[in-house]
Amino acid sequence: MASPLSFDLLLQSSHDPSDAVTRALAGALAHAAAGVIPAPTLGLDGTRFQTLLARHFPALDGQICAAHCEGCRPLRSDEFADLVALLLAHRAHAGEEAEWLAHAIASACMGGNHLYHDMGLPNRQALSELLSRHFTRLFEKNVGNMKWKKFFYKQLCDQAEVRVCQAPSCQVCNDYQACFGPEDDTFPASLAALAGRAPVPQ
Ligand code: SF4
């Protein structure tokens, strides 16, 4: 059965379907609702989740929101909390929007695809622009243009002074391509419909 919180419905319910933050939240929410990422309410408690929906998707049927939110709890995971904290420590502005985005990004990090895929964004550039605008200092730290999800986890490992990398430096590491190589721009067919975009022809 199709999830009631689909990407199309969310955009139709929004003030401005072209707004980059609205589209990022809609993509993450649609994937969360469909179970692509394991965080139905993006790790927000019911009240904060309802506020997000009311602010960005005001025309959404309240019954759908209530049904989706029923019994929801904040995501209990050290990893998730650490990712949210990392993002918020580098937020470019105060307010709930950065918090919602941080939760959406951290939730999408729990998915199994490229981060921008799991956020329903069209490409890595769209994710980079979002991070540049809303988490500017974190964006600027990624001077080597590392893949974003790997970069976030590397930051957490460095903060905790945990050494998981096998090589003394990235330049001599056998995993360099995995961390810095180009990302496949093909949007997975299984996610394309959920994020309201046509699959790229093979
Ligand atoms: S390239 Fe190697 S050393 Fe650098 S972050 Fe990746 S795994 Fe670690």
Q: What is the pLDDT of residue 175?
A: 84
User: 173 in ligand 1 pocket by Cβ < 6 Å?
Assistant: yes
User: 158 in ligand 1 pocket by Cβ < 6 Å?
Assistant: no
Q: What is the pLDDT of residue 70?
A: 61
Residue 40 within any structural domain of the chain: yes
The count of other CB atoms within 10 Å of the CB of residue 84 is: 21
Residue 196 within any structural domain of the chain: no
- The domain containing residue 136 runs over which residues? 7-182
* 155/135 Cα distance (integer angstroms): 14
**Average pLDDT estimate for 151-162:** 88
Residue 2 within any structural domain of the chain: no
* 157: its two tokens: 């490992």
Taking only the tens place, the pLDDT of each residue in 105-124 is 999 999 989 999 999 999 99
Residue 199 has pLDDT above 60, yes or no: no
Residue 195 within any structural domain of the chain: no
Taking only the tens place, the pLDDT of each residue in 66-75 is 666 665 665 6
Instruction: Give whole-number Cα distances, 99 to 35, 43, 61, 172, 173, in Å.
Output: 22, 11, 23, 37, 35
Residue 171 within any structural domain of the chain: yes
Which of 142, 174, 179 has most ligand 1 atoms within 8 Å of CB, for mutation? 179
Report CA Rg, the chain: 17
Which of 173, 177, 180 has most ligand 1 atoms within 8 Å of CB, for mutation? 173
11-16-17-19 Cα dihedral, nearest 10 degrees: -130
3-state DSSP helix/strand/coil % of the chain, to nearest 5: 55, 0, 45
Q: What is the pLDDT of residue 31?
A: 93
Q: Which atom of ligand 1 is nearest to the CA of 164?
A: 8
Q: Which amino acid is at 196?
A: G
Q: What is the pLDDT of residue 202?
A: 35
| 3-class SS of residue 199 | coil
**Domain tally for the chain?**
1
What is the phi/psi pair of residue 26, to 5°? -65, -40
- Protein residue closest via CA to atom 3 of ligand 1: 170
Residue 160 has pLDDT above 70, yes or no: yes
Residue 54 within any structural domain of the chain: yes
- Tell me how far the alpha carbon of residue 169 lies from the centroid of ligand 1, in angstroms: 7
Contact criterion met (CB below 8 Å) for 138 and 90: yes
* 98/91 Cα distance (integer angstroms): 7
Residue 123 within any structural domain of the chain: yes
- The per-residue b/e assignment along 114-129, b for 16 or more CB within 10 angstroms, e otherwise, is bbbbbbbbeebebbbe
Residue 200 has pLDDT above 60, yes or no: no
Residue 1 has pLDDT above 50, yes or no: no
